[in-house]
Amino acid sequence: MLTKVEMTSKDYIELEEKYGAHNYHPLDVVIEKGEGVWVYDVEGKKYLDCLAAYSAVNQGHCHPRIIDAMKKQAEKVTLTSRAFRNNQLPLLYKQLNELTGYEMFLPMNSGAEAVETALKAVRKWGYKVKGVEENKAEIIVCSNNFAGRTISIVSFSTEKQYQDGFGPLTPGFKVVEYGNAQALKDAITPNTVAFIVEPIQGEGGVVVPKEGYLEETYNICKENNVLFVADEIQSGLGRSGKLFAFYYEKVCPDLITIGKALSGGAYPVSAVLGTREVLGVFNPGDHGSTFGGNPLAAAIAVEALKVLVEENLVEKSFELGNYFREQLQAIPSKHVKEVRGKGLFIGVELHPEAKGARRFCEALMQRGILCKETHDNVIRFAPPLVIKKEEIDWALSHISEVLQMD
């Protein structure tokens, strides 16, 4: 048998294909090391990461401050469960309060768990506060949404593949057209407890709604005593050029779900941020997680948030994102239908005649740039927020040539 030293990318890929469930279709690059915006494969080839682990490594790969915080806490205590208190979780609560102004927080691990937590919170609020008849609560979601892979979450997806073979699906959800405020207004009934919306749809293809959509839907919710929930797991924490993408409009969500960059990619950490009226509906035993709120996660998250603020990564995302997007829009390519996004959250949609985005991603990989197709015809560019202008310029020279190939 080959030793690890002797193994090549081909060997690792063969092992993964033989023993792993085939629920992903990754590019055939085997990453061994990451630093900042760069990753290296097992043969030592260097790549610019333009996906940032779906925005989980906004602070860059293996940020030294975050890794140092992780090491220090790991040497003390990693897990206590919520059966006992620990001295790190309160510090994370304080940090989130000072950064966002929200009153209460509920920590979990994955983004999907944060969304599941929000679903439970809004339903219980509907029954205990709004007075909806038991088991009649309705939650309104948007077409083209993506919030995770659990049974409840795929139940309100409009992507048929996500539901195929997983029924019976969870009831209680209504789907309205994303970007259409009137559709939301028409769908609300006395049983509606919440509207859940991504301010920018990431997996949907970096879809940005028209200006004013969030504010209009927020006001509709307030007029009808319906909770407004912003899913900022991918768009939040600086990715969009603001701390949260909803900051571009005058809205104040009742709940926000966050994850991914909350740990700088070092550990699974997520949370629901909200008002005391909504998150206050939980009583001991109503909800929980063995690992949610553990001291290691909390210590990592505190440092990850400090890095975002102290290194001005949100502001850098705004400035460099505008530059990156403008330069992409200037590329004379017959394949490009639209370039859209906010901050360093950019989607390049291709015409159907381009024969899919996958081949462009594979061509970029050969040139040392890693990105990923979404919804077949969209290339997503979302590098770590620590990227420099000269690194964007280097990438653009290659992207321009690839987008102009036949």
Annotated catalytic sites, by residue? 146, 231, 260
Taking the C-alpha atoms of residue 373 and residue 349, their distance in angstroms, rounded to an integer, is 10
Residue of 308, 315, 260 whose CA lies nearest to 113: 260
3-state secondary structure of 375: coil
Instruction: State both tokens at 209.
Output: 């709604």
Q: Do residues 48 and 369 make contact, with C-beta atoms less than 8 angstroms apart?
A: yes
Q: Phi/psi at 274 (nearest 5 deg)?
A: -165, 180
Instruction: State both tokens at 373.
Output: 């197709």
Instruction: State both tokens at 195.
Output: 């509207």
Q: Do residues 199 and 178 make contact, with C-beta atoms less than 8 angstroms apart?
A: no
CA 31 to chain centre: 21
Instruction: Find the angle CA(139)-CA(142)-CA(145) to the nearest 5 degrees.
Output: 110
Instruction: State both tokens at 214.
Output: 């969030």
Instruction: Find the angle CA(22)-CA(381)-CA(348) to the nearest 5 degrees.
Output: 100
Q: Do residues 45 and 283 make contact, with C-beta atoms less than 8 angstroms apart?
A: no
Taking the C-alpha atoms of residue 362 and residue 359, their distance in angstroms, rounded to an integer, is 5
Q: Do residues 86 and 297 make contact, with C-beta atoms less than 8 angstroms apart?
A: no
Q: Is the dihedral of CA 381, 323, 366, 377 positive or negative?
A: positive
Q: What is the DSSP string of 17-79?
A: HHHS-------S--EEEEEBTEEEETT--EEEESSHHHHTTTT-BT-HHHHHHHHHHHTT-S-
3-state secondary structure of 129: helix
Strand bridging mode 46-49 / 369-370 = parallel
Name residue 229's beta-bridge partners: 196, 255
Q: Do residues 185 and 148 make contact, with C-beta atoms less than 8 angstroms apart?
A: no
